[in-house]
Structure 1
Amino acid sequence: MSGVYNSLSDARILDLPTMASTLNATLFRKGDVAYSNDGDGGVSSVNPMADFSNDGGGAGNFSNHTETDFERYTRIVIPTIFGFILVLGLFGNSLVIIVVLADKHMRNTTNILILSLAFADLFFILFCVPFTATGYATTVWPFGQVGCKMAQYAMHVCAYASVYTLVLMALDRYVAVVHAIRSMTWRSERNTWIAVFITWLICLVGNSPILVQYNVHEYPWGAENRSVCINTHHIRDNRVGRTFYTCFLFFGYIIPLGVTLLMYGLMLKRLLYGVVPGGASQSAESIRAKKRVTRMVIIVEVIFAICWLPIQIILFMQAFDKYPAEEATLALLFASNCLAYMNSCVNPILYAFLSENFRRSFCKFLCCSSGSRRMEYERTNARFTVTENNATKTTYVNNSKMYTPV
């Protein structure tokens, strides 16, 4: 199966079951690439079903009735699921952004990273889900060349920004737990914003080749002309697609999650078998708060790894022509696509269940509470005491903000 149809938002794979017979009727094939008979030698499409003959042997797995039903149901079910993801993701991530920006008590290092992740998820949903749903529901790309380039660029930038924000969250947890004293100066809002800015800048610059590689590709399909937004450079040279999705798998999944796993491993080792620096000066409440925040971040990372694993494997297999074009495998691809998109709307739900701070802030915002009731915010750093003028005062480092209660 040709990797040309690889994309985070490519729905034209719906054409695969009948592409072999249609292309053989209108085109002649050379290798894996189908060329038009108009004599100009231009690439018009790709034949991913080269192993299926027209004599009913190989292609017999797809009867006309089955093909029609499969495509019809897919064009209804998948956009419906995407619509649900769009509404839930927009609401949840917007709520996270609002409560962090509006409530000064919520602006700490961990929540700034959660804010970056919420923006990445929100932009991913806005730039990926509607375009993909349209691709499933129609047979043409209606958004033009600029829309094709910008949509693909934005969705890949957001995908990378999400995973590397998770790396920053793991790093934040590591220094907060293992280097509790020194992290009082490291884990500042200013340093966190700088790290977020650098991460987004690298993602924006690193994905700039997409603006050149992705274009609207038109191809004949029986009596109609269809179009799709794909990596046209891959059509000319399949090594481009293989390199692209190998990099996406390793730099967008394996390497960042491997680094994250290493940091959590070192952190858990210290918590289980060693003494956390500064532990003697930390209150039991502070230690419990750290554990709760760390548990929440780990669960967010695990959910991300689970949701993105199937689509990463499938995209990689497609790029190397190892993914079979069968009804069951196509259904698995669609399900994996939905699972990856679903990850962008589950994080706010996780925050609501796992973080007391977010749960209270959500309730305060949604219920429009007057604010007369004092809200307690978890302290996730050290507490220490100082003696001044024969009076002892307790000083807290509250999520990177130092204050002394009167």
Structure 2
Amino acid sequence: MQNCSGGNCSSKNDTLEGDCYHSTLALVLPIVYSVIAFLAITGNFSLIFIIIKKKEMHNVTNILIANLSTCDLLISIICLPFTVVYTLMDYWIFGEAMCKLTNMVQCVSVSVSVFTLVLIALERYQLIINPRGWRPSNLHAFIGIFVVWILAICIAIPLAIHVVFEESPLNNFPQYKGTFICHERWPSLSSQNIFTNVMLVVQYFGPLCFIGMCYLKIYIRLKRRNVAMETMRENKYRSNETKRINVLLISIVVATAVCWLPLHIFNIVAELIPAESMVCTNLWSSVCHLMAMISTCINPIFYGFLNRNLQQDLLIAFRFCRCSSREDDYETITMSTIQSDVSKTSFKLSSPEASA
């Protein structure tokens, strides 16, 4: 099993823990991995499809959300299926190229995801804290996405260099004769620790602290603004929509942080405690990695539950049921313009008084 969080990977074959690992999760883990991969592929593909298809969804926030889903889709297609097979077989059968590629893709995708969450927080901060100032456009969103992908690739290069494809150390056992593993091999333990700690800050604690500060200031500003707006019906409606959108985005950030936290904690503990002193190392490594992979399903789940427009679009696109006319119930407020003083879109009035 290849467990990569910011480049810290461990192979299930480093030690033989047959009783500890196989008696508990040898069959359960592959099934759960397969379910996660299926949900992540279908959910993220559907979300990207809807965002691309609907012109009214072409705004900065949705473009960044689509980039998040692209990262999760890459992990689901390129990494998770190979992880399932690796879990079942205990050795790597896909060759050196796929060994390096799966690790590289996962590391890059994790970096791009967290950097994209930073961009979303920055966009929300600018629109709410300084609504009359500079506003990011769709072009700025694409430029930001390009920059974070280049940065993430550069960050992952050391990992790609030090991931190796070599004979399994368990070749003495008949069932592993002539097999290979895919894992990291660094020149020294200190260099591995330095890379892991840097990635821990770059991919996790640093971005989350920054995002937390942005949303804290947004919360304070919105709380003050609501007091002045609560007597105006239209502004109150816009305020409620703002809250709903911010809840959606914060939920994605919090859920992502929670999913990746166990694996980061495991990596820290693994560096501090000698391997021979840890009990069921591979079992805990597998469970923590599984928790991290659940994050690939977060984006479509939260976005689908909290975005009524997307729910209707998915129902129409996949013909699950007959939906009412879009002209009657489609919310015309876009996520990136809702904070502005004058919305770029109209408010749909459905009451008889309004139509009169």
TM class by shorter-chain length? 0.7 to 0.9
The higher relative CO (CA closer than 8 Å, separation ≥ 6) is in 2
**SS of 1:314's equivalent?**
helix
Structure 2: which amino acid aligns with 1:397? K
In structure 2, the residue matched to 1:326 is 279
Deviation readout 1:330-378 (Å, 9 max, x if unpaired): 4333221111001101221111111122222222222276885312332
In structure 2, the residue matched to 1:203 is 152
Q: Which has the larger radius of gyration?
A: 1
Structure 2 gap segments, 5+ residues each? 347-356
1:116–1:170 Cα change, 3 Å = same
In structure 2, the residue matched to 1:130 is 81
Matched, 1:187 2:186: no
* Correspondence for 1:213 among 153, 156, 162: 162
Structure 1 gap segments, 5+ residues each? 19-66, 385-395, 400-406
Structure 2: which amino acid aligns with 1:13? K
Displacement, 1:172?
1.5
Rounded Cα–Cα distance in structure 2 between residues aligned with 1:321 and 1:353: 41
Rounded Cα–Cα distance in structure 2 between residues aligned with 1:246 and 1:10: 13
Displacement, 1:168?
1.0
1:202–1:15 Cα change, 3 Å = closer
CA contact (8 A) 1:286 1:382 kept: no
1:6–1:359 Cα change, 3 Å = closer
Which structure 2 residues correspond to residues 5-404 of structure 1 after superposition, within 5 A? 7-8=4-5, 12-13=11-12, 16-17=15-16, 67-68=18-19, 70-71=21-22, 73-183=24-134, 186-221=135-170, 222-223=172-173, 224-232=177-185, 234=186, 236-273=187-224, 283-321=235-273, 324-327=277-280, 330-367=282-319, 372-374=325-327, 375-379=330-334, 380-384=338-342, 396-398=343-345
Rounded Cα–Cα distance in structure 2 between residues aligned with 1:277 and 1:180: 16
CA contact (8 A) 1:163 1:252 kept: yes
Structure number with higher strand proportion: 1
Deviation readout 1:36-56 (Å, 9 max, x if unpaired): xxxxxxxxxxxxxxxxxxxxx
- Coordinate RMSD, CA, aligned: 2.8
**SS of 1:298's equivalent?**
helix
Displacement, 1:286?
2.4
Structure number with higher helix proportion: 2
CA contact (8 A) 1:78 1:136 kept: yes
> Normalising by structure 1, what TM-score?
0.74
> Normalising by structure 2, what TM-score?
0.84
Structure 2: which amino acid aligns with 1:88? L
Rounded Cα–Cα distance in structure 2 between residues aligned with 1:132 and 1:144: 14
